[in-house]
Amino acid sequence: MNIFIIGSGTFGTAIANELARNKDNEVIIFSRSEIKKKEINNFHTNEKYFPEKKLNDSLICTNQYSDVQNAAIVFIVLPSASIVENLKLFSPYISDKQVIVNLSKGILTNGDTIIEFLQKELVSNNITTLKGPSFAVEIMRRADTLMTLGYLNEKHKQLIFKIFRNSCIYLEATK
């Protein structure tokens, strides 16, 4: 499954690395930084957030916004304070056929939830959300982690459960 992760901070890196462990997943993580892109691709590290931790060799990093259009599933792992400005750079390349998985938390300054913003900005009904009492450092250590998937479409639920198979992240779901 082609997966694109928007956000190469602690949680984005941890999720991308764990998803890349599944041989059926092709995972690309986005970073605006050319230096970080080269570090992840050449050395399989993200030293700023995980010193001395090796990332999965199959994890690829890009800094091209348009690369998102090749993914079946797009994970959004951005701080809520920067999600509006960043998503506007990706939205021309995201289609309503892609499944969006939101991991960003918070409420925007206008009172909208992030899901409400994503539905408007991406003009999509394929938006799910993944939340849980989880920490990036624990995921990188491969500690068993439980997260809850909020979804509307049963096919989306099955797809998300499938890509997390054989990972340390266990999912429960709710509509």
Our CA dihedral for 147, 151, 155, 158, rounded to 10 degrees, sits at 10
pTM of the model: 0.96
User: How far is residue 63's CA from residue 37's CA, in Å, rounded to a whole number?
Assistant: 7
Better pLDDT: 106 or 149 = 149
52-66, 107-121, 141-155: lowest mean pLDDT where? 107-121
Q: What is the mean pLDDT of residues 87-115?
A: 93
Residue 113 token pair? 């939830």
Question: Is the separation of the CB atoms in 48 and 23 below 8 Å?
Answer: no
Residue 145, CB-side half-sphere exposure with 13 Å CA sphere: 26
pLDDT digits (tens, 9 = 90+) for 17-59: 999 999 999 999 999 999 999 999 999 999 999 998 999 999 9
Instruction: Give the Å distances, CA to CA, from 175 to 116, 125, 169.
Output: 16, 14, 19
Res 123: pLDDT = 85
Q: What is the DSSP letter of 23?
A: T
User: How far is residue 106's CA from residue 115's CA, in Å, rounded to a whole number?
Assistant: 10
Of 58, 52, 11, 48, nearest in space to 169 by CA: 11
